[in-house]
Amino acid sequence: MNLKLGKLPPDVLEKYLLGMTGAKSRDLVVAPSLGVDFGVVRHGRAQLIVSSDPVTGVKESVGWYAVNVSANDIATSGNRPQFLQSVILLPQRASVRDVERISSEMDKTASSLGITIVGGHTELTPGLRRPIVVTTAFSFASSYVTAADAKEGDSILITKTAAVEGTAICASDSTKLRKKLEPAVIARARGFLRKLSVVEEAAAAYATEAVHAMHDCTEGGVLGAVYEMSRASKLGFELKEDKIPIASETTAVCSALGLDPLRLISSGTLLIAVVPGREKEVIQAVRQAGSRATVIGKFRKGRRNLVRKDGSVEQILDAPTDELWKLVDRQGM
């Protein structure tokens, strides 16, 4: 079986990785599972929440991305990230200036989020075309939710808009856009990078006590994240395409590049499973945290359906391949 770029397919993960956990421990509270982006280890009366993530598909602001992606995974538990480690792999032609740029970005980003960097490893690695940064974030917590905790009937809320991260990446890396879009549109699209964090909105939503589950929309975009949540929670869903907010900059970028914004990587976008009847409470809390939230569907038993704007129904049978990899194939990004 040949594998495609990006995340491994769910069946491969379940068969070859998720059960390979080494020595057994009674202190492992949340073990590796599909759609759940962090583990939980019992530590006395507290619990240690741990998550790792790589940054592989970007050329600019790698340090900024690296801190935010792991911080976001911790935030989906309802807790703020506290500590972080990193592994920085650099191409053979990297310079001291490259090291300084990445490390200073990580330092500033971690400081802004209240995260302490506790160590890691950095090296020049043969065969790389761009830096790869892997971060592991940690937090001690007394309570949490996971992406596997959604309940039948829960409303699905989305923060910000679809394809936040993908919009920024495409605007930064694609020369094709300069021939099709105005410079001002491209500049605004690049600015989506500053929307990458979900820490504040996740904390605000969780504080309402109306949240059953949260998940950030990383690889595979909104559809990928909802699919993972539903698989983890053993539920189906119904999404309304016309309810999913898409920024005009995202629409312009995706149209120019022939990409589907619902399947485009979207760190910075948070999915929230909310107790029915308490949607307005969560929406208000997210607004007070400086973001926005929109009801886009619900979890239910049965099929996983996307109701298109024309009324047709698309059944989501598998985790979608992220649209960003199309650009990698076309342009060697």
Q: Is the pTM of this model over 0.85?
A: yes
Q: Where are the beta strands (DSSP E) in the chain?
A: 28-30, 39-43, 46-55, 83-90, 116-124, 132-141, 155-159, 211-217, 236-240, 266-274, 293-300, 304-307, 313-315
Secondary structure (3-state) at 120:
strand
pLDDT at 6: 78
The DSSP code for 58 is: -
Cα–Cα distance for residue pair 75/305, rounded to 1 Å: 27
Where do the domains of the chain lie, and which CATH numbers do they carry? 23-141 (3.30.1330.10), 147-331 (3.90.650.10)
pLDDT at 319: 86
pLDDT at 174: 65
Q: Which of 27-31, 71-75, 320-324 has the lowest mean pLDDT?
A: 320-324
Query: pLDDT averaged over the chain?
Result: 93
- Distance between first and last Cα of the chain: 25
User: Using one digit for the tens of pLDDT, what is the confidence trace for 49-108?
Assistant: 999 999 886 777 899 999 999 999 999 999 999 999 999 999 999 999 999 999 999 999
Secondary structure (3-state) at 32:
coil
Q: Which helix (H) or strand (E) holds 117?
A: strand 116-124
User: Using one digit for the tens of pLDDT, what is the confidence trace for 279-316?
Assistant: 999 999 999 999 999 999 999 999 999 999 999 999 99
Return the residue matching tokens 């049965």.
Answer: 302
What average pLDDT score do residues 19-24 get? 91
Q: Which of 35-39, 135-139, 198-202, 233-237 has the lowest mean pLDDT?
A: 35-39
pLDDT bucket at 33, cuts 50 / 70 / 90: confident
9: phi then psi, degrees, rounded to nearest 5: -60, 150
Cα–Cα distance for residue pair 123/107, rounded to 1 Å: 18
pLDDT at 331: 59
User: Using one digit for the tens of pLDDT, what is the confidence trace for 201-244?
Assistant: 999 999 999 999 999 998 899 999 999 999 999 999 999 999 99
User: Using one digit for the tens of pLDDT, what is the confidence trace for 242-259?
Assistant: 999 999 999 999 999 999
